[in-house]
Amino acid sequence: MSSSRQTPSHEKSLVWFRRDLRDYDHVALYHALKYSEQVYCAFVFDIDILDHLTDKADRRVEFIWESVRELKAALQAKGGDLITLHGSAQQEIVQLANSLQVQAVFTNHDYEPSAIARDANVAAQLQTLNIVFHHYKDHVIFEKDEVLTLAGKPYGVFTPYKNMWLKTVNDFYIKPYPVDAYGHKLAKPDSNELPSLENIGFKRTNLASMRLPTGMTGGLSLFNDFKGRMHRYKDTRDFPAIKGVSYLSVHLRFGTVSIRHLVREALPEANAGAQTWLSELIWRDFYVQILHHHPRVATGNAYKSEYESLSFPNDKALFQAWCDGKTGYPLIDAAMRQLNNTGFMHNRLRMVAANFLVKDLLIDWRLGERYFAEKLIDFDLSANNGGWQWAASTGCDAQPWFRIFNPIKQSERFDSSGKFIRKYVPELAKCNDKEIHTPWLIPTQRLQDLNLIIGIDYPAPTVNHATQREITLNLYKNVSPC
């Protein structure tokens, strides 16, 4: 029997949107529509998450709010609507499902430990009401145990995982889910207004002034722009002053784009740019499966347990200088100021800034991980943890502990003309392309000509890289098994 003629299992169902804020190629929405006569849709501004955010001018919340507003309008255009609630999701969803008298709740997987616990709680409550809880894979191509070694073990090294991922993927895993074919089943609830950003306890940020469009239309416009330069991605992705990356990370984080759509576009392309970008998408799956198999990494534990005994000095003044973008190393400071001013940091700079914090300033990687978690608009627990443990050499397939980025060489290599530095460290704007990487070495007379006083207008280096490098090597050498 064809799917279009299959008898629906449920008279009424509810789709619970979370990090999947789109109305197309959406697995849970597709299955709900296909197997129900009527489908309601809901999103909860979850106080169990929002109440822990201390900065009420949070770009992530504003991004979500704008994306929810677009999703609500899109569902209305299809004849349905999005019920928007503000409260504890694990209470609101159960109450809503009960009041609507649905037979099932459909949702997509969320892989963070707190979300797994929340969903188990919701499922248990729904069961007492004889309401079925259906959940699906939507956020990644492969999850949990879908890509394992030949011995049936999870991978801890990326390249063999990637090779197996590529051997496993086929049209089935990246097919779109045609929501529109069943759109007529969307239910129109009683009038439900979207609460304002202020009503949920937050305020506007500078998001509107940034070139980061929100919602489904924003994600698609960014991808369409990137498609024309995807073939250059490998050559341009490491240079923060160049428009080389896709800028889709926040859209992947909140599901305003479909990962299957992105992979379908990149997979058949033979050029190095598309294949390099595809690798980045595979890294995303890799870190999600690491979190699944090793949930302890979400609670501050090193993936490589031998590095738990690393004793970092954790100088508070040095950490604050890093947070504020006042380390005296221009590329590091530009990266941190970009983060603080926009909520975004270029991927190359994430590696450089993280490496500098851990291996030059000798600050515990967990402090940096936490700071990024507070500031990044695209914060994703698995990728953020994976990236920080990579930089700190404590994670799976991490950078070797003895490999320490030289911040000056990184600056000269990836921002040779100083264009990116000048944008975020304007006090160095008049320095020439050579001086801007090491302003503390500029001769006194030249500093006077520039009207620049090192230590006042711009800080002197907080640490000496060569000295810190030796201290770091000894620190790691004492705990390293090799």
Instruction: Give all domains of the chain, ordered by start, each with its CATH number.
Output: 8-138 (3.40.50.620), 140-175+216-293 (1.25.40.80), 305-476 (1.10.579.10)
Contact 262, 174 (CB under 8 A): no
Q: What is the 3-state secondary structure (H, E, C) of 438-470?
A: CHHHCCHHHHHHHCCCECCCECCCCCCHHHHHH
Tell me the residue ranges of DSSP E strands in 22-137. Answer: 36-46, 83-87, 104-108, 132-136
> Quick one: pLDDT band at residue 453, thresholds 50, 70, 90?
very high
- The upper half-sphere exposure of residue 296, i.e. CA atoms within 13 Å in the direction of its Cβ, equals 8
Q: What is the pLDDT of residues 119-148, one digit of tens each?
A: 999 999 999 999 999 999 999 999 999 999
Whole-number percent of the chain with pLDDT over 70: 98
Q: What is the pLDDT of residues 357-381, one digit of tens each?
A: 999 999 999 999 999 999 999 999 9
Q: What is the pLDDT of residue 309?
A: 83
> Quick one: pLDDT band at residue 481, thresholds 50, 70, 90?
low
Q: How many CB atoms lie within 10 A of CB 295?
A: 14
> Quick one: pLDDT band at residue 395, thresholds 50, 70, 90?
very high
Cα–Cα nearest to 143, from 291, 249, 278, 263: 291
Average pLDDT, the chain: 95
Q: What is the pLDDT of residue 5?
A: 39
Average pLDDT over residues 439-455: 97
Residue 4 has pLDDT above 70, yes or no: no
In angstroms, rounded to a whole number, what is the distance separating the alpha carbons of residues 297 and 305?
10
Residue 478 has pLDDT above 90, yes or no: no
Total residues belonging to the chain: 482
Q: What is the pLDDT of residues 304-363, one digit of tens each?
A: 998 988 999 999 999 999 999 999 999 999 999 999 999 999 999 999 999 999 999 999
Rounded to a whole number, what is the largest CA-CA distance in the chain?
A: 84
> Quick one: pLDDT band at residue 480, thresholds 50, 70, 90?
low
In angstroms, rounded to a whole number, what is the distance separating the alpha carbons of residues 372 and 370?
5
What H or E segment, with its residue span, contains residue 184?
none
Q: What is the pLDDT of residue 7?
A: 54
Q: What is the pLDDT of residues 77-120, one digit of tens each?
A: 999 999 999 999 999 999 999 999 999 999 999 999 999 999 99
Q: What residues contact residue 362 under an 8 Å CB cut-off, 6+ apart? A: 312, 313, 314, 315, 318, 468, 471, 472, 475
What's the start-to-end Cα distance of the chain, in Å? 60
Full DSSP string of 6-39: SPPSEEEEEEEESS---SSS-HHHHHHHHTEEEE
Q: What is the pLDDT of residue 399?
A: 79
Residue 127 vs residue 397, higher pLDDT: 127
Determine the 3-state secondary structure of 394 from DSSP: coil
Q: What is the pLDDT of residues 155-170, one digit of tens each?
A: 999 999 999 999 999 9
Residue 398 has pLDDT above 90, yes or no: no
Cα–Cα nearest to 141, from 276, 9, 282: 282
pTM value is 0.94
Contact 244, 233 (CB under 8 A): yes
Q: What is the pLDDT of residues 169-220, one digit of tens each?
A: 999 999 999 999 999 999 999 878 999 999 999 999 999 999 899 999 999 9
Contact 244, 419 (CB under 8 A): no
